[in-house]
Structure 1
């Protein structure tokens, strides 16, 4: 008996509705396929993977409650293209899973976004801690990803927080900086393994514009091998506005070009500098923009911009962690109108929790919500409804 038939019929129906365009065929596809005999067409849209299974239960429950408009909005959200996250799988599993997704995306004439999240010491061992145990283990995992992608198209968002949150930043390194050095080795290995694939583009982590200054993150990108990558990304899983992200991206790209020509990153304008001053600096210091690095941004939850915590209320407000009153941002696209800005993406899967947010309190409840937030990556019904109700622009439903 098919496993799908073991589900109650309404749940099976919802699961089918929430799946990606050809997700069923992708799940069954585990062996390499023969190469195409015809030229590969240009892919101009982004891939929609199967949704979080708990989203289907959420949709069904809303329908049972007579909340069909809310159900339609959640359905529209999860049917919007978003990244596929990978981390903690064995090499055999990750090779099989990535091959299935990139093959399915190719059949759909769409570009898949793969968020690779398996670096040792991931998230400073906090809410999203985990990842490979050693550098050797990580290299084997990246090798398996490369085999899974093969010659098919993929856009790789490489290791969120890997460069913006180094082991040295969270007290997890020794005096010699051994773990931070290993982090750079791991990121460089991933770049050198994945970027040379025929149709893969790799982007490196910058955090977001309210975190590192331009002249702080640029040296990290250089050490991480950005010169050999397609570029970088910003705002993954965060809430900064599209304008702030695009400006940050342009400044980083200009500073990287300046450094590549022998300049000092300390002289690059920060994102807080007056824009007219920064533009004049770019004109003077980057006369040839053709070599500037490209970037992508995350607009999954930034429709209302970042959350401003109540003044003096928390010792650690965790403004990045399931903040209240946020909305979906602009829909993903490969056409941003900016030649440096390759794509606006939904990197973070909207509707999935950031973790158990305590905001400096004893918990276990999130004091902003009065509930215990789901663990990182689990479906968060309250937040999912907030995101669709407060989306900017509004989310379209049939």
Structure 2
């Protein structure tokens, strides 16, 4: 006998998933992205009907866990990025072509993450990538060919700039050859996608608690950001939207300052004040330095520096960016004081986090082209052990975490329950009638 499904759930979970209502229909004419390398505010992003969340909703439904099914159906109704992390060039090209065509049939735009650069993640939890620069360039060129003339948003190589080979260890790149290769790979990737007529490319720049403003700007310039639409921030991380927007605006201002600003500033990204700008900052009458990188409320000294030295650059000369808001609704995790003696890996499956701002290209922030869910919500960051020597169990969960990229239903449910603002079905997926 087939399980009897309560009538109230049918229009919510079953209709949204089984009948495909989680997939947006064709966008209205005024919502269609225009041609060229821009991202209009009316852009609608592609929703995958076969996402991890959609499959989990069906599993919960068949187990009569109606609350879980509804939560996962709500998650499945929103667009998330598609990651390309491996495969042969032919496989990457074929997968990309299939994805962009599916999106085109619904009048939406897919978000594609290219994540296959050599020495990815310094060979840590998300290690992998192409075996050589030549292999990578062949792969990324094939991925771009697969996108072809269809519309797509490209997030290029998360962490690849913020974590260069020279950053991995003091001996990881003694001659600088590997880092030079990485930068050339990224320039090649930008050019491969920008040759396509309807792609919008964002080169990843890390997050607001990683590289200083000047370092981020310098690395972006070295990798050719001026040939792309802009850069991406907070991918797979948890820092709140407001500080990410503020940091990204500083990076954009710094890029302008060092390339189009005053003559004396040309080439001097290193002069830009940053989120760590405390040595030269007045202490505002408080003990010690007033600037705290963990407290954006103290970042007004950096704002002051940019007002005094950069002013108000022409908006059309500033570099735009996107922010990953998929897991930042509760902000970053701060472990209890004294709980861990070493690095607690606050970036790795932190407990109690929540989904953040919904995906949209209408952000209301001048330089922010979109808030996107780039890291797949509910996929593990890796087998975290909070740097406990010899440990394999994550003490925050009392278990061994799933491998990086593995679907973790319990984490997905936590992120949904803690969503800020609370999660609902996407407007276009709600059953009519």
Question: Where on the TM-score scale, by shorter chain, does this alignment land: which range?
Answer: 0.7 to 0.9
Post-superposition offset of 1:284? 4.4
Mapping for residues 74-153 of structure 1, pairs under 5 Å = 74-153=72-151
How far the C-alpha of 1:76 sits from its partner, in A, is 1.1
> Which of structures 1 and 2 has the larger relative contact order (alpha carbons within 8 angstroms, sep 6+)?
2
The answer for the alignment partner of 1:73 in structure 2 is: 71
So what's the TM-score if we normalise by structure 1? 0.87
SS at match of 1:94: helix
Is it true that 1:330 corresponds to 2:369 in the alignment? no
Displacement, 1:295? 0.3
- Number of paired residues? 370
1:258-269 aligned at under 5 Å gives the runs 258-261=257-260, 262-269=266-273
How many angstroms does 1:215 deviate by? 1.1
Structure 1 residues 277 and 376: alpha-carbon distance in aligned structure 2, compared to 1, 3 A threshold: closer
By how many angstroms is 1:239 displaced?
A: 0.3
Whole-Å separation in 2 of the counterparts to 1:208 and 1:17: 38
Q: TM-score, normalised by structure 2?
A: 0.80
- The aligned counterpart of 1:30 is none
**Cα distance, 1:195 vs structure 2:** 1.5
1:190-339 maps to which residues of 2 (within 5 A)? 190-261=189-260, 262-272=266-276, 274-275=299-300, 278=303, 281-282=306-307, 284-286=309-311, 287-314=313-340, 315-339=342-366
Q: What is aligned with 1:5? A: none
Could you tell me how far apart the structure 2 residues matched to 1:15 and 1:90 are?
32
Mapped contact 1:14–1:57 kept (Cα < 8 A): no
Cα separation, 2, equivalents of 1:269 and 1:137: 38
**How many angstroms does 1:337 deviate by?**
1.1
**Against the structure 1 CA distance between its residues 324 and 144, is the aligned structure 2 distance closer, same or farther, given a 3 Å change threshold?**
same
Secondary structure of 1:203's counterpart equals strand
Considering only aligned residues, what root-mean-square deviation do their CA atoms show, in Å? 2.3
Tell me if the contact between 2:16 and 2:73 (Cα under 8 Å) persists in the aligned partners. Answer: no
Q: Deviations over 1:245-289 (max 9, x none)?
A: 110110000000011121511221213554365256246425323
Q: Is residue 2:207 matched to residue 1:180?
A: no
Aligned counterpart, 2:398: 370
- Once the two structures are TM-superposed, the CA of residue 364 in structure 1 deviates from its matched residue by 2.3
Aligned to 1:359: 386
Is the 8 Å Cα contact of residues 359 and 372 (structure 2) preserved in structure 1? yes
Q: Which runs of 5+ in 1 are unaligned?
A: 1-11, 24-39
